[in-house]
Amino acid sequence: MEELVRAGRVTVNGEPAHIGARVGSSDVIRVEGRLVRAPKLQRGPRVLLYHKPEGEIVSRDDPAGRASVFDRLPPLRGARWLAVGRLDYNTSGLLVLTSDGELANRMMHPRYGLEREYAVRVRGKLSGDQIARLRAGIELGDGKAHCESVAEGGGEGANRWYHIVIREGRNRVVRRLFEALGLAVSRLMRVRFGPVVLPPRLKRGQYLELPPREARELLALLEFPLSARSLIPALLPSGEGRLDPPSLPSGEREGVRGRRGGGEGIASPAAARARRETRDRPRPPRAR
């Protein structure tokens, strides 16, 4: 769609549009001469980042009546939030949700090979041989699994932190990898999904919507077809068409509002690699 804008095929009130143009609901937008109605354009894929705490399930139906992540999310008119993968009841960290099923499928599909990065706390220290086994692959009950990378993250006493990267989302795969080595995982936190990183200051139980520009970068990475529906987010002024932040105490509310357009939610693959190398990532809680 940006190519159409650059080629002069998109007009706003009869004038050629440009990337970042400020438009409102009263403006007349045409694509290659055809009138495009704003209400239809505003229903592009939405991407929400949620910092899941431990003790919540990623499901709308639970016979045990446990708390659900969906209880905390904002309403979505004419659609519902779809979780991109799941996090176990006792796992915390980044949960990506979207209003578009095709986008969710692409993020999870092996074809795109999106990395998942976790901060893992275990009782005990990995030996060089165990790290080599994690990288080479370990046979589990449902097939072989391996880590793309394993990096030490510090710790005190018997508790040690590690940052690992995998490219799959099988059930409890991280915990099972460490169990196969004879190590019990005491804390597990997802800090990145593909190029989407958990904003360091997003507290547990809070959410924010990925800004339109960063959402478009994610769509481009996944070769998501940009239809006329996705034009308006590229043209809307900052803040229009987004979700309001959750109700928070005044001090916390100020922080969430400032982060919504701050570009903290997504990083390019190169930036993600640099983040891993420098360990400039959300730090795990200090071991007690």
Identify the CATH number of the domain in which residue 37 sits: 3.10.290
The CATH number covering residue 97 comes to 3.30.2350.10
**For position 267, what pLDDT does the model report?**
59
**For position 224, what pLDDT does the model report?**
87
* 97 in any annotated domain: yes
Phi-psi region for residue 285, left (φ > 0), alpha (ψ -120 to 50) or beta?
beta
Question: Residues 82, 182: one domain?
Answer: yes
**For position 211, what pLDDT does the model report?**
86
Question: Residues 123, 169: one domain?
Answer: yes
Question: Residues 66, 33: one domain?
Answer: no
* 147 in any annotated domain: yes
Cβ neighbours of 154 (radius 10 Å): 13
* 215 in any annotated domain: no
Q: Band of the pLDDT at 51, cuts 50, 70, 90?
A: very high
* 217 in any annotated domain: no
**For position 25, what pLDDT does the model report?**
64
Question: Residues 133, 182: one domain?
Answer: yes
**For position 288, what pLDDT does the model report?**
47
From the candidates 27, 62, 88, 142, give the one annotated as an active-site residue.
Answer: 88
Question: Residues 35, 65: one domain?
Answer: no
Contact 32, 4 (CB under 8 A): yes
- Answer yes or no: is pLDDT of 168 > 80: yes
Question: Residues 38, 65: one domain?
Answer: no
Q: Band of the pLDDT at 38, cuts 50, 70, 90?
A: low
Q: Band of the pLDDT at 67, cuts 50, 70, 90?
A: very high
Domain of residue 31, residue span: 2-43+226-259
Question: Residues 102, 27: one domain?
Answer: no
Contact 68, 16 (CB under 8 A): no
* 72 in any annotated domain: yes
Q: What is the mean pLDDT of the chain?
A: 79
Question: Residues 156, 239: one domain?
Answer: no
- Answer yes or no: is pLDDT of 161 > 80: yes
* 198 in any annotated domain: yes
**For position 19, what pLDDT does the model report?**
74
* 52 in any annotated domain: yes
Q: How many domains would you assign to the chain?
A: 2
**For position 99, what pLDDT does the model report?**
92
Contact 48, 243 (CB under 8 A): yes
> Does residue 88 carry a catalytic annotation?
yes
- Kindly report the pTM of this predicted structure: 0.69
**For position 248, what pLDDT does the model report?**
35
Pick from 14-18, 32-36, 190-194, 253-257: least confident: 253-257
Question: Residues 6, 148: one domain?
Answer: no
* 283 in any annotated domain: no
Question: Residues 74, 102: one domain?
Answer: yes
In this predicted model, which residue has the larger pLDDT, 44 or 228?
44
In this predicted model, which residue has the larger pLDDT, 169 or 121?
121
When mean pLDDT is compared over 3-12, 14-23, 110-119, the highest value belongs to 110-119
> Residues 252-266: what's their mean pLDDT?
41
Question: Residues 177, 251: one domain?
Answer: no
Q: Band of the pLDDT at 261, cuts 50, 70, 90?
A: very low
Q: Which of 120, 121, 179, 183 is nearest to 145 (CA)?
A: 179
Question: Residues 271, 200: one domain?
Answer: yes
